[in-house]
Homo-oligomer: A and B are copies of this chain.
């Protein structure tokens, strides 16, 4: 008997791509003027997959918005407005009341207008579907496929902190500083807008699903390989202690831990150091150097200057390795 193939998120997107060549990045582009465009995200948050309603509604509302804004950040866009769809069982009124009130506050904090939405009953789960809309100068839009051979890879933000926070929180192990990273991420909008303006930055994504998955996506889109230098990964003593405490492998956590919402981007090789220096001066924290792009396929790891094989099983939404 033929075994039934289960779908991966990638398989479904590929299924769509086969027919449509306009999909490739996490956000969609709508022309606005000759020099400007709208950027649109589409993001689903599903109860018991992406969150539980044990989670405080106020925190969830803010996270739902930040997660979407993070995609705008990764394109280099400035937030403009939002469409909100919610579907919920009828006994959730208090929860949704708090969710909406806080969503409204979060929008105000970002100077975003809620321009439309839809509400519907669901039989048992709370579904959130959001489209955030940003604006950008066309020349500043960052895609994935535009990364080039020889470019250097950097990350703005932490790697693995949110994953530590999730695991700690699930197991009631404290580590609130990390838990906060998971429950209350902040979209790197200022960094995204600044990086968008840098011509030397050739491609950019946000780190929603973990570094490894996003590196694979950039490689696939740009038809290149990523050579990841694990020796250069910076790790704070606090992160090391947390990994030990939770019995997590440090490198694996940094590579596959999701929901950090930092920015992964590629820079023309000769401009890497100056971009890193300017970034530090502007934002007060160091970029993390990840490695570089070269000819080949997929993500390759280097430790002690030698290639090593890592057996990484990243989390995907369909819970299968790709």
Contact = CB atoms under 8 A, between A and B. Distances in A.
Contacts of A46: 87, 120-123, 127
Given A16-B104, A83-B40, A93-B6, A30 B319 contact: no
Interface string A51-92: 000000000000000000000000000001101111100111
Nearest to A88: B7
Contacts of A44: 85-87, 118-120, 127, 129
Interface stretch (A19-27, A232-240, A289-297): A19-27
A281 interface: no
A122 B6 CA distance: 14
Given A28-B115, A42-B83, A12 B121 contact: no
B91 A40 contact: no
Given A28-B83, A30-B81, A81-B28, A43 B7 contact: no
Contacts of A86: 12, 44
A12 B94 CA distance: 11
A30 to B, nearest CB: 6
A97 interface: yes
Given A20-B114, A33-B33, A115-B29, A15 B121 contact: no
Contacts of A113: 20, 22
Contact of A117 (B23, B93, B96, B127): B23
Contacts of A91: 4, 6
Interface of A: 4-7, 9, 12-13, 15-16, 19-20, 22-23, 25-30, 32-33, 38, 40-44, 46-50, 80-81, 83-87, 90-93, 96-97, 100-101, 104, 107, 113-125, 127, 129, 131, 133, 317-320
